[in-house]
């Protein structure tokens, strides 16, 4: 009797659509991972392109070995597999596959699923930076980290409890809208509270890529033409305008970033809460993103603006807009896309890739026809032009010149060609989860359920997750997985939100516990050392005046140097060859002789020469240099730089070129700290 029952369970042939779809998703994901890893190895082994790239003498930053295949292969492979999968659905081939799987005994299906899951886990490997304390040096008692982690989990549990209790109590007394409004306010407050970094620490190096162009544009130069910008575009013009109106100082930027963090985390909560109609699900997404993106990373998250919402928020905002409007073809959407895309250059590129990839899928799946596709593309181009004209008008008011749009991608191009900052990708990586979510959402979209407009945003979020991961594919340091994790989390929860709506209470609870464990408890436990150190530093700073800005303290260290410059040089325009030149210009309030700020953004000889020649002015009599150039550094007490990533390499190259360009030799006459005055 029992044997017959077991036989029935294992050898029963029944229609299991969800299981079949899971098999297809897992199969495609594993195929994508397998092809990516092996094609990359194959190309690197048999067609190595290292020498012609890395030995390019034009690049003054040495010792870089680029990975020319990683990003093109990543994009190309997923593109091809997307086309194949979409065609499978379009020509009903997936129906045949599903019928075939349906015809298999239950046991075979279970074996298939188990095999594909184990294979996927095998590909994924170890959690990034698991149990590592780096870059913190001091290792405290293991119990300290455990207590710290435990308190964090207790705090999250209490927050969940508080929200659930409030919802329960408010459901009787308040309208659902009012209750929601209260929850939103608390979520934003919680976002501010959890992301508050006392003393607002800044990386002098990383911030200079933002401060420099802002200062240049505010002092009357034109962005791109005269003020090279590596990241920002309209963002730089926007802040420069505020700077001009005296509404912006260098201190403002970290505070602004703090606000953006709270906004980003709130948007993620809102999207998931609204789509799943479950408060707990929204809270899970909210705490998952805070845990993985904010606390698991080993930087103090404020430290580097390039990893903060200052750079990445446009993508989240675009997902939010798609969710709100439930369409992507209107003028409102193309105009919004253009505004968001021009905020930061590389994120703008990502946004256009996300948008056009989405349109392409819609076209392939016969959701829009060719004419509609062409119309949208034309509309996008017109919108982009209009927004560009608008930014240009603001720039014209500031500098009296118009922006030349052609060199806008110069920096991206240089970095791509030089391979500067790239790192090889590990074959076992959590990156493959992004493939999994992408294929899951694509499958859901291509199934009938996804063709409803209200599910557009789910596909957009998974495409965003896939495209934003280019950042990690290029610079494959494990920490960058945390940087791109918000989009993955949105996409993952978005896909699950379709499932969660139809789940019974019992299964829902199981899912919640599973997610809490996998996305919050486990990652924070594995990163408890780094989190512990982060909290320790926070507490120290809170005890020691939390609102004393770190940048202010750093700037005062150049006080004597600035006094020296003011005493020795009276010109309005000043030539500074120092790693902290961004901050010195800010303190001095004088114009920059060069059309580049920060100088560390120069990575090639051609630009270096261009910056000197373009200036086309009389060579200054006195210049400000780094004490290392003047060979006058006087010991550790005065050896201070705000730029924590300084190399001094660019300045050394610049002084050589300047000497030959001006036909003179600059000699040191007086020094203070790391700042020296040289005279020709």
Partner 1 sequence: MENLIYFLNQIRNFILLFVIIIISFSLLILFKPFKYIDNFNTMIKCSDGKEVSSGATIVFTYDGQLDNFNQTKALKVCAYDIVFDYGNQFPYPQNVKFEYLIKTDRYSSWFQAGFVVMLFLILILMILKLSNIHLVKDLYLFYSQNKLVSLCTIVLYMVISLLFFQVFFKSDLQNIYCKNVLQIQQKDFKLSVNLSGKEYPYIEYDWAKAQEKKFLNKCLQQGYVYKE
Helix boundaries (H) for 527-671: 528-543, 550-556, 559-568, 581-588, 605-615, 627-630, 649-662
Nearest-approach distance from CB 568 to partner 1, in angstroms? 37
SS3 (DSSP) at 630: helix
Q: Does the protein bind partner 1 through residue 49 (CB under 8 A)?
A: no
Token code pair at residue 67: 């990975």
Count Cβ atoms within 10 A of the Cβ of residue 545 and give its class: 0-12 exposed, 13-18 middle, 19 or more buried. exposed
**Residue 59 φ then ψ, to 5°:** -85, 120
Q: Does the protein bind partner 1 through residue 452 (CB under 8 A)?
A: no
Pairwise CA distance, residues 482 & 298, whole Å: 9
Token code pair at residue 650: 């660019």
The residue (of 67 and 533) whose beta carbon lies closer to partner 1 is 67
Token code pair at residue 349: 């590129």
Q: Does the protein bind partner 1 through residue 415 (CB under 8 A)?
A: no
Q: Which stretch binds partner 1 (CB under 8 A): 60-68, 81-89, 246-254, 541-549?
A: 60-68
Q: Does the protein bind partner 1 through residue 34 (CB under 8 A)?
A: yes
Q: Does the protein bind partner 1 through residue 636 (CB under 8 A)?
A: no
Residue of 4, 45, 504, 637 that binds partner 1 (CB under 8 A):
45
Residue of 123, 241, 466, 594 that binds partner 1 (CB under 8 A):
123
CA-based R_g, the chain, Å: 27
Between the CA of residue 643 and those of 198, 206, 548, 604, what are the distances in Å?
20, 8, 19, 20
Q: Does the protein bind partner 1 through residue 679 (CB under 8 A)?
A: no
Residue that the structure tokens 């630009």 belong to: 607
DSSP strand pairing (573-574 vs 591-592): parallel
Q: Does the protein bind partner 1 through residue 680 (CB under 8 A)?
A: no
Pairwise CA distance, residues 548 & 431, whole Å: 39
The residue (of 149 and 430) whose beta carbon lies closer to partner 1 is 430
Q: Does the protein bind partner 1 through residue 477 (CB under 8 A)?
A: yes
Residue of 20, 30, 365, 607 that binds partner 1 (CB under 8 A):
30
The residue (of 116 and 470) whose beta carbon lies closer to partner 1 is 116
Nearest-approach distance from CB 7 to partner 1, in angstroms? 23
Give the number of residues in contact with partner 1, rule: CB under 8 A.
Answer: 22
Residue of 424, 449, 552, 606 that binds partner 1 (CB under 8 A):
424
Pairwise CA distance, residues 458 & 495, whole Å: 6
The residues near 257 (Cβ < 8 Å, ≥ 6 apart) are: 302, 305, 308, 309, 310
Pairwise CA distance, residues 201 & 301, whole Å: 9
Nearest-approach distance from CB 426 to partner 1, in angstroms? 7
Pairwise CA distance, residues 150 & 144, whole Å: 10
Q: Which stretch binds partner 1 (CB under 8 A): 119-127, 179-187, 287-295, 383-391?
A: 119-127
Token code pair at residue 570: 């009276």
The residues near 476 (Cβ < 8 Å, ≥ 6 apart) are: 70, 422, 423, 424, 425, 426, 429
The residues near 168 (Cβ < 8 Å, ≥ 6 apart) are: none
Nearest-approach distance from CB 635 to partner 1, in angstroms? 20
Residue 664 CA from chain centroid, whole number: 45
The residue (of 43 and 382) whose beta carbon lies closer to partner 1 is 43
Contact 208, 643 (CB under 8 A): yes
Nearest-approach distance from CB 98 to partner 1, in angstroms? 16
Nearest-approach distance from CB 525 to partner 1, in angstroms? 20
Nearest-approach distance from CB 529 to partner 1, in angstroms? 16
Q: Does the protein bind partner 1 through residue 31 (CB under 8 A)?
A: yes
Q: Does the protein bind partner 1 through residue 509 (CB under 8 A)?
A: no
Q: Which stretch binds partner 1 (CB under 8 A): 372-380, 420-428, 443-451, 523-531?
A: 420-428
Q: Does the protein bind partner 1 through residue 427 (CB under 8 A)?
A: yes
Q: Does the protein bind partner 1 through residue 510 (CB under 8 A)?
A: no
Q: Which stretch binds partner 1 (CB under 8 A): 57-65, 227-235, 275-283, 391-399?
A: 57-65
The residue (of 63 and 636) whose beta carbon lies closer to partner 1 is 63
The residue (of 161 and 424) whose beta carbon lies closer to partner 1 is 424
Nearest-approach distance from CB 193 to partner 1, in angstroms? 32
Q: How many other β-carbons are positioned within 10 Å of the β-carbon of residue 225? A: 18
Binding mask 586-615 for partner 1 (x = CB under 8 A): ------------------------------
Nearest-approach distance from CB 11 to partner 1, in angstroms? 19
Q: Which stretch binds partner 1 (CB under 8 A): 59-67, 100-108, 226-234, 558-566?
A: 59-67
**Residue 673 φ then ψ, to 5°:** 60, -130
Q: Which stretch binds partner 1 (CB under 8 A): 43-51, 71-79, 234-242, 633-641?
A: 43-51
With CA atoms as reference, report the closest residue to 186 among 206, 214, 216, 164.
164
Q: Which stretch binds partner 1 (CB under 8 A): 38-46, 159-167, 209-217, 361-369?
A: 38-46
Element of type H or E holding 352: helix 345-364
Contact 59, 604 (CB under 8 A): yes
Q: Does the protein bind partner 1 through residue 122 (CB under 8 A)?
A: yes
Pairwise CA distance, residues 353 & 456, whole Å: 16
Nearest-approach distance from CB 131 to partner 1, in angstroms? 12
The residue (of 41 and 571) whose beta carbon lies closer to partner 1 is 41
Q: Does the protein bind partner 1 through residue 16 (CB under 8 A)?
A: no
Binding mask 515-554 for partner 1 (x = CB under 8 A): ----------------------------------------
Pairwise CA distance, residues 555 & 643, whole Å: 11
The residue (of 36 and 287) whose beta carbon lies closer to partner 1 is 36
Contact 296, 483 (CB under 8 A): no
**Residue 495 φ then ψ, to 5°:** -65, -45
Q: Phi-psi region for residue 677, left (φ > 0), alpha (ψ -120 to 50) or beta?
A: beta
Q: Does the protein bind partner 1 through residue 104 (CB under 8 A)?
A: no
Q: Does the protein bind partner 1 through residue 181 (CB under 8 A)?
A: no
Pairwise CA distance, residues 187 & 181, whole Å: 10
Pairwise CA distance, residues 57 & 35, whole Å: 34
**Residue 225 φ then ψ, to 5°:** -65, -50
Q: Does the protein bind partner 1 through residue 64 (CB under 8 A)?
A: yes
Residue of 115, 396, 507, 639 that binds partner 1 (CB under 8 A):
115
With CA atoms as reference, report the closest residue to 140 among 523, 531, 521.
531
Q: Which stretch binds partner 1 (CB under 8 A): 111-119, 153-161, 232-240, 301-309?
A: 111-119
Residue of 21, 353, 412, 426 that binds partner 1 (CB under 8 A):
426
CA angle 674/550/530 to nearest 5° reads 110
Token code pair at residue 654: 């610049």
Nearest-approach distance from CB 517 to partner 1, in angstroms? 25
Q: Which stretch binds partner 1 (CB under 8 A): 28-36, 282-290, 543-551, 554-562?
A: 28-36
The residue (of 34 and 517) whose beta carbon lies closer to partner 1 is 34
Taking each helix axis from N to C terminus, what angle separates 234-244 and 204-218, rounded to the nearest 10 degrees? 70
Residue of 423, 522, 557, 619 that binds partner 1 (CB under 8 A):
423
Which residues bind to partner 1, rule: CB under 8 A?
30-31, 34, 41, 44-45, 50, 62-65, 115, 118-119, 122-123, 423-424, 426-427, 477-478
């Amino acid at each position: 009797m029992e044997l017959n029952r077991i036989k029935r369970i294992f050898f029963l042939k029944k229609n299991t659509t969800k299981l079949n779809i899971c098999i297809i998703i897992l199969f495609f994901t594993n195929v994508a991972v397998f092809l990516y890893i092996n094609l990359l190895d194959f190309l690197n082994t048999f067609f190595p392109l290292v020498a012609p790239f890395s030995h390019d003498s034009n690049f003054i930053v040495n010792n870089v070995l680029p990975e020319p295949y990683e990003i093109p292969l990543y994009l190309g492979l997923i593109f091809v597999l997307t086309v194949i999968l979409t065609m499978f659905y379009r020509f009903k081939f997936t129906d045949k596959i599903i019928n075939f799987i349906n015809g298999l005994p239950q046991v075979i299906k279970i074996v298939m699923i188990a095999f594909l899951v184990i294979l996927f886990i095998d590909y994924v490997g170890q959690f990034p930076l698991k149990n590592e304390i780096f870059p913190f040096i001091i290792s405290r008692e293991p119990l300290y980290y455990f207590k710290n982690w435990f308190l964090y989990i207790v705090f999250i549990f209490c927050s969940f409890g508080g929200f659930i209790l409030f919802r329960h109590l408010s459901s009787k007394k308040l309208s659902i809208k009012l209750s929601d409004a209260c929850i939103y306010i608390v979520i934003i407050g919680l976002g501010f509270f959890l992301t508050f970094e006392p003393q607002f620490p800044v990386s002098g190096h990383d911030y200079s890529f933002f401060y420099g162009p802002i200062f240049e544009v505010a002092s009357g130069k034109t962005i791109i033409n005269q003020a090279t910008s590596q990241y920002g575009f309209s963002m730089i013009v926007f802040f420069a305008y505020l700077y001009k109106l005296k509404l912006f100082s260098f201190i403002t930027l970290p505070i602004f970033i703090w606000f953006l963090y709270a906004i980003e985390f709130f948007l993620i909560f809102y999207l998931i809460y609204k789509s799943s109609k479950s408060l707990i699900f929204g809270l899970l997404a909210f705490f998952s993103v805070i845990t993985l993106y904010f606390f698991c990373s080993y930087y103090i998250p404020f430290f580097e603006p390039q990893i903060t919402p200052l750079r990445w928020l446009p993508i989240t905002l675009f997902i939010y807009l798609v969710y709100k409007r439930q369409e992507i073809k209107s003028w409102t959407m193309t105009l919004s896309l253009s505004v968001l895309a021009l905020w930061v250059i590389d994120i703008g590129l990502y946004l256009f890739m996300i948008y056009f990839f989405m349109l392409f899928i819609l076209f392939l799946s016969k959701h829009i026809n060719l004419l509609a596709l062409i119309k949208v593309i034309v509309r996008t181009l017109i919108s982009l032009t209009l927004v560009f004209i608008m930014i240009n008008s603001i720039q014209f008011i500031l500098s009296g010149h118009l922006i030349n749009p052609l060199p806008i991608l110069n920096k991206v191009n240089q970095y791509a060609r030089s391979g500067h900052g790239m790192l090889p990708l590990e074959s076992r990586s959590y990156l493959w989860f992004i493939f999994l979510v992408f294929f899951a959402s694509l499958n859901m979209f291509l199934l009938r359920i996804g063709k409803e407009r209200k599910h557009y945003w789910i596909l957009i979020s998974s495409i965003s997750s896939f495209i934003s991961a280019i950042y990690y594919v290029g610079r494959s340091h494990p920490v960058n997985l945390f940087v791109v994790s918000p989009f993955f989390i949105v996409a993952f929860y978005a896909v699950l939100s379709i499932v969660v709506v139809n789940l019974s209470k019992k299964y829902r609870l199981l899912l919640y516990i599973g997610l809490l464990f996998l996305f919050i408890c486990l990652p924070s436990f594995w990163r408890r050392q780094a989190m512990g150190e982060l909290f320790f530093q926070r507490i120290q700073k809170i005890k020691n005046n939390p609102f004393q800005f770190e940048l202010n303290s750093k700037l005062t260290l150049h006080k004597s140097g600035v006094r020296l410059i003011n005493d020795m040089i009276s010109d309005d325009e000043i030539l500074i060859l120092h790693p902290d030149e961004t901050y010195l210009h800010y303190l001095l309030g004088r114009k920059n002789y060069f059309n580049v700020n920060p100088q560390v953004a120069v990575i090639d000889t051609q630009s270096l020469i261009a910056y000197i020649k373009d200036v086309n002015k009389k060579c200054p009599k006195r210049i400000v240099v780094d004490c290392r150039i003047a060979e006058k550094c006087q010991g550790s007490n005065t050896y201070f730089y705000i730029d924590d990533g300084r190399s001094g390499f660019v300045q050394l190259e610049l002084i050589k070129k300047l000497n030959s360009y001006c036909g003179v030799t600059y000699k040191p006459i007086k020094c203070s700290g790391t700042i020296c005055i040289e005279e020709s």
